[in-house]
């Protein structure tokens, strides 16, 4: 059931909030302010810092996939920050679009490694998948489908496709992969503790489980960059994990 949390009339985001409420109520107390959830908003700075770091690390890389890691992390941080500042459904969809930017970046990278996408075609598929899934998210929310499960399925797709690739072509090193996955699992645990109120102090200025999700998941994206950097040549058409019919 959709949480019955509304911003009072006269609050900065109350007009958007009146249209439709978000489908989740995080622990942090919503405030009548331009920044409705301060901790959940400010914690998105982690994505921005990671994004800047990744842009610097990918400078000069011949792989467009790797060069997109940094901008994708920045998009995640901006979209999530705007949503948590407003606590409105309209901008919650923007938050999902930001997450899809990163999940589909990883999924299309793995599709490229599997030989399913031509190097010159992957970006078109990447953009189309983000747009279509964002529109689908709006439709599913009106059907009262738990839309957070979409991201969970995508993460599952990343893990399954990665392990599938390993069966045929083990990576030179898997340490960054497992470290990134471990950080993401820890982030998910804190977010779950938050939304279920298992660990919850609505008034705490920064110790919020979902805010910790932002920080740990941002670090996960940073670490995963080093895993995918091993396949720079492969992503640019110098070889794929195995021969397959490519999508043109």
Three-state SS string across 214-236, please?
HHHHHHHHHHHHHHHHHHHHHHH
Residue 221 and residue 24: Cα distance in Å, rounded?
24
In the prediction, which pLDDT does 103 show?
A: 96
Per residue in 161-219, pLDDT (tens digit) is: 999 999 988 999 999 999 999 999 999 999 999 999 999 999 999 999 999 999 999 99
Structure token pair of residue 184: 């993401």
Residues sharing a CB contact under 8 Å with residue 92, sequence separation 6 or more, in sequence order: 22, 23, 83
Contact 191, 213 (CB under 8 A): yes
Assign 1 to helix, strand or coil.
Answer: coil
Q: What is the mean pLDDT of the chain?
A: 90
pTM of the model: 0.90
Cα dist from 132 to 48, 137, 201, whole Å: 25, 9, 37
The DSSP annotation for 170-181 comes to --S--HHHHHHH
What is the spatial distance between Cα 183 and Cα 219, in angstroms, rounded to a whole number? 7
pLDDT of residue 237: 64
Q: What is the pLDDT of residue 77?
A: 97
Asked if residue 81 has pLDDT above 90, the reply is: yes
The residues, ordered by sequence, that sit 6+ positions from 179 with a Cβ below 8 Å of its Cβ are 223
117: helix, strand or coil: strand
Q: How many CB atoms lie within 10 A of CB 42?
A: 17
Domains of the chain, start order? 37-236 (1.20.1070)
- Give the integer Cα–Cα distance in Å for 188 and 172: 28
Q: What is the DSSP letter of 8?
A: P
Least confident of 6-20, 90-104, 159-173, 213-227: 6-20
């Amino acid at each position: 059931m959709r949480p019955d949390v509304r911003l009072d009339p006269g609050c900065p985001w109350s007009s958007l909030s009146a249209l439709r409420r978000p489908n989740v109520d995080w622990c942090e107390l919503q405030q009548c302010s331009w920044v409705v959830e301060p901790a959940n908003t400010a914690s998105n700075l982690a994505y921005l810092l990671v994004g800047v770091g990744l842009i610097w690390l990918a400078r000069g890389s011949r792989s467009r996939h790797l060069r997109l890691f940094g901008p994708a992390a920045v998009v995640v941080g901006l979209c999530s920050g705007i949503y948590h500042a407003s606590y409105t459904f309209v901008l919650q969809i923007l938050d999902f679009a930001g997450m899809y930017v990163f999940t589909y970046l990883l999924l299309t990278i793995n599709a490229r490694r599997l030989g399913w996408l031509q190097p010159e075609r992957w970006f078109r598929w990447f953009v189309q998948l983000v747009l279509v899934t964002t529109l689908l998210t709006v439709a599913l929310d009106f059907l009262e489908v738990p839309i957070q499960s979409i991201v969970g399925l995508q993460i599952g797709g990343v893990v399954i496709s990665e392990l599938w690739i390993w069966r045929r072509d083990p990576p030179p090193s898997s340490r960054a992969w497992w470290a990134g996955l471990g950080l993401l699992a820890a982030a998910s645990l804190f977010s779950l503790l938050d939304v279920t109120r298992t660990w919850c102090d609505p008034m705490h200025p920064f110790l919020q489980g979902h805010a910790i999700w932002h920080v740990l998941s941002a670090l996960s994206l940073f670490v995963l960059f080093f895993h995918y950097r091993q396949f720079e040549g492969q992503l640019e058409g110098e070889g794929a994990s195995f021969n397959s019919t490519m999508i043109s």
